[in-house]
Structure formats: structure tokens, C-alpha cells
Structure 1
């Protein structure tokens, strides 16, 4: 469900692109240092965005280093790490743990049991350190699972679960920025959930899997309504962002919110157009 909150690379200055990659690589290294190779598997663009956002808002002291890795074994990569990199890594692990736990409880997936067993010891410590976030993540994932079992077509309810989950992750500490960060995370979380459902709909219909957009898909104005919902969510999120006193890396953050978040959407549209053109050509023949 993650991977939608990324940059629009062509529209980013070279120096900003390098810095973005350094944050991304820094999060990857932190996951490796704290949780090993299993931790690295949880790496996402979405949590990289949260690192940059919180670093900008709180102007945290950030450490720069260069390292080689399995992906880049020859050339050392720039890496940026700070307290928010560690926070994002911890949140990634909690999310992964509860997701795997639900997979085991709900569907008896062996991978869910194995992952839960492998992470239990490490995640217990994180849960003790972040009881507020852990409690909300567990609650919202459980509620979302129940809606999915029911086959709920109430998009606001299902997307709302993921929205409240992301809202809690964005609140690093309860201070004067809490409400704005919470609302920003809420709408961004709903955007992620809706985009994921939109991208997976054809596959889910084919495989008979749950998707909250199934009923809406039958409407003639399906595409327009989906885009309208996505635009509304990201507009609300961006409005909350503009109320934050972010100056550091603000060009990267705006690039993501105003352009990068639509990267996957544009690819989906391109694929649909190619598919339609191919179908049209075959009919003509």
C-alpha cells in the first residue's frame, strides 16, 4: 500500500534530487542498522517523505555520511540520518509487524506467522517507546480488516482507517503543530489508500479480491469521481502543509505534494490508454 508519496524527478533541481536520495538512503541504512535485512524490506518513499517533513519542521540536526551497500557496492552513497530517520524506521517496523499479525490471524498466512515471530522481540521495545502510535496502528488496521471482511463499499470509512493511522504517525510529539500534522497525515493517508485501491482494481476484480471501489467502478463517471476524490485529499493535505513553518527542503516537499504524488496515477493512465489503443487496433483488424 506504500510507495505513492514520491518525487517528480524531472522537476527537481539536481542538488535537491541528491539530497532526497541521501534521505532515502539514510532511512535504508537506519533500518539495516536497527533491524537488519528484514528491516530494509520495509523501506518506502512515503516514510522518507515523513523524515524530510519532520526534519524541516523541527530543524533537527542531521548527520551526513557516505557508505557502500548491496545495491551500490562500488560507489559510496550520501546518507542523511537524524532522530526522525530513527522514528520513521521504528514506525515502519510497527506497521509491518501488525500487518503480518493480521495476515496470520485473518488468513493464516505462513508468511504472516513467520514475520510476526521474527519481529516480535524487537517490536515489543518499540511499542513500549511509542504506546500512542502503536495503539492507534493496531486499532485502525483491525478496523480496516473488519470492513474488508464485510466487503464494505463505504470508501470514506475504509480510507478513514488508513487516514487516522497516518495521522498518528505524523504526530512525532504533541505540541503546537500536532493538529495541523494530524490533519495533513489524515488526508495523505486517505490519498494513499484510494490510490492503492484505484491501481489494484482491475487485478482485484479478476482475482475476486476485496476492493472498496468495486461498486463505484460500475458508474459511468467512475474515472472522474476517482480523480476528484484524489484531488480533494491531496488538496486538503497540501493546505495543511502550507500552514507549517517549513523552510528547509521546502522545494523537495512541494515537489512531492504538488507533482510527485501523481507519478503513479499518470503511469496508470498511460497504461490504460495503451490498452485501449491496442483493443481498438485489434477490433479494426
Structure 2
């Protein structure tokens, strides 16, 4: 359900793209250093956005490091790390753990059981360190699982659960910016959930899996409604972002929120037009 919140590379200056990669590599390095290869596998672009946003908001002191990795074994890569990077690594781990746990408890997926066992010891300290976030994530993922079991047709309900998960992750600390960060994370989370359901509809339909878009897809104006919902979510999210006093890496952040989040949507539109024999291309 992740990977929608990334940059639009063609619209980004090269120096900004290199810096974005440095934040991404820094988060990857932090996950590896703190939680090993299994932790590193939880890496997401979405949490990279959180690192850049919170670093900009709180003006966190950031260190530049050079390291090799399995993906780049020859040349050392530039990595940006700070206290926000460590926080994002912890949130990545918590979210991955609870997802795997729900997969095992609710659907008896072997991967969920094995993943939970592999992460259990690593995640105990993190759960103790962040009780607020963990309680919220556990509560909302449980509610989300109930909606999936009952095959809830109103997408706003399960999307709201994931929105509340993301708002808790973006709330690095309770301070003057709590309200804005919560709303930003909430609407971004709803966007991610809706986009994921939209992308997976055909596959879920073939496999008989739950998808809250199923009923909506029967409407003649389905595509228009989906686009309207996605635009509404990102409009609210971006409005909250613009009210934050972020100056550092502002071009990267705006690139993600105004262009990058639409990468997958635009790609889907092109693929569908090709399948339907059209040459036109629609994009946000």
C-alpha cells in the first residue's frame, strides 16, 4: 500500500534529485544499521517524504555520510541522516510489524507469521519507545481489518482508518504544529489508500479479494469520481503543507505533493489507454 509518495524526476532539478536520493539512502542505511536486512526491507518512499518534511519543519541538524551498500558496492553513496531519519526508521518498522501481524491473525498468511517472528524482538523496544503511535496504529489497522471482513462498500471508512495511521506517523511530537501535521498526514493517508484500491481493482476482482472500489466502479462516472476524490485528498493535504513554515528543500517537497504523487495515477491512465487502443495521454 506504499510507494505513491515519491518525486517526479523530470520536473526536479538535478541537485534536488540528488539530495532526495541522499535522504532515501540515509533512511535505508538507518534501517539496516538499527534493524538489519529485515528492517531494511520495510523501506518506503512515503517515509522518505516524512523525513524531508519533518527535517524542513524542525530544521534538524543533518549529517552527510558516505557509505557503500549492496545496491552500490563500488562507489560510496552520499547519505543524509538526522534524528528524524531514526524516527522514520522506527515508524517504518512498527508499521511493517503490525501489517504482518494482521496478515497472520486475520488471514493466516505464512509470510505474515514468518515476518512477525523475524521482527518481534526488534520491535519490542520501539513499541515501548512510541506508545502513542503504536496504540493508534494497532487500533486503526484492527478497524481496517474489520471493514475488510465485512466488505465495507463506503471507501471513506477504510480510507479514514489508514488516514489516521498516517497522521499519527507524521506527528513527530506534540507541539504547535500538531493540528496541521495531523491533517496533512490524514489526507495523505486517505489518498494512498484510495489510490491503492483504484490500482488493485482489476486484480482484486479476478482473485475475488475485497476492494472498496467494487461498487463505485459500476457507476458510469467511476473514473471522474475517483479523480475527484484523489484531487480532493491532495488538495487538503497540500493546503495544510503550505501553512507550515517549511523553507528547506521546499522545491523537493512541492515536487512530491504537486507532481510526484500523481506518477502512478498517470502511468495507469496511459496503460489503460493503450489497452483500449487510444494514443492520447491524460495526466494530472
TM class, shorter-length? over 0.9
Correspondence for 1:122? 122
Cα distance in 1 between the residues matched to 2:94 and 2:177? 23
Shift of 1:40: 1.1
Shift of 1:115: 1.1
Correspondence for 1:272? 272
Correspondence for 1:207? 207
Correspondence for 2:31? 31
Correspondence for 2:251? 251
Shift of 1:154: 1.1
Shift of 1:151: 0.4
Correspondence for 1:177? 177
List gaps (5 residues or longer) in structure 1.
279-285
Correspondence for 1:283? none
Shift of 1:259: 0.4
Shift of 1:246: 0.1
Shift of 1:256: 0.2
Runs of 4+ in 1 over 4 A off after TM superposition: none
Correspondence for 2:152? 152
Length, aligned pairs only: 278
Shift of 1:175: 0.1
Q: Does 1:10 align with 2:10?
A: yes
Shift of 1:271: 0.5
**CA displacement 1:33-66 (0-9 Å, x = unmatched):** 0011111111110000000000000000001011
Correspondence for 2:164? 164
Q: Does 1:81 align with 2:88?
A: no
Cα distance in 1 between the residues matched to 2:262 and 2:101? 31
Correspondence for 1:281? none
List gaps (5 residues or longer) in structure 2.
279-284
Correspondence for 2:282? none
Cα distance in 2 between the residues matched to 1:5 and 1:234? 11
Q: Does 1:58 align with 2:58?
A: yes
Q: How does 1:230-245 map to 2 (within 5 A)?
A: 230-245=230-245
Partner SS state of residue 277, structure 1: coil
TM norm structure 1: 0.97
Q: Does 1:112 align with 2:112?
A: yes
Shift of 1:226: 0.1
**CA displacement 1:117-169 (0-9 Å, x = unmatched):** 11111111001100000000000000000000000011111100000000000
Cα distance in 1 between the residues matched to 2:40 and 2:113? 19
Cα distance in 1 between the residues matched to 2:219 and 2:259? 28
Cα distance in 2 between the residues matched to 1:201 and 1:113? 26
Cα distance in 2 between the residues matched to 1:145 and 1:214? 17
Cα distance in 1 between the residues matched to 2:154 and 2:147? 9
TM norm structure 2: 0.97
